Amino acid sequence: MVKGVYAIIAILLLIPLVVLLDIPSYNSVNPTLFGISFFYWYQMLWMPLGAILFYIAAILWNREEKAGRTVSRRRR
């Protein structure tokens, strides 16, 4: 189960990277939002989304680290 959680963490961290590296998918002016072209506000939208995904990944990581410490203490 541990490998599955680490795979989920990796996916959560890779989502913003992959989405923002696909520049042709959002390389346009329209639709504008408050006078800001789509190219810029789409990138700004991914800043908080990426932070949220990173936060979820950090929570999962810390939960696995605590669980790992608990297992190693029981083995002693």
Range of the domain at 54: 2-75
Question: Quick check: 74 pLDDT over 70?
Answer: no
DSSP the chain: -HHHHHHHHHHHHHHHHHHHH-GGGT---PSPBTTB-HHHHHHHHHHHHHHHHHHHHHHHHHHHHHHHHHHHHHH-
Query: What integer pLDDT is reported at residue 64 of this predicted model?
Result: 87
Against a cut of 0.85, is the pTM above it?
no
pLDDT at 65: 85
DSSP 34: T
Residue 51 has pLDDT above 90, yes or no: yes
Chain-centroid distance of CA 56 in Å reads 8
Q: What is the pLDDT of residue 76?
A: 53
Domain count, the chain: 1
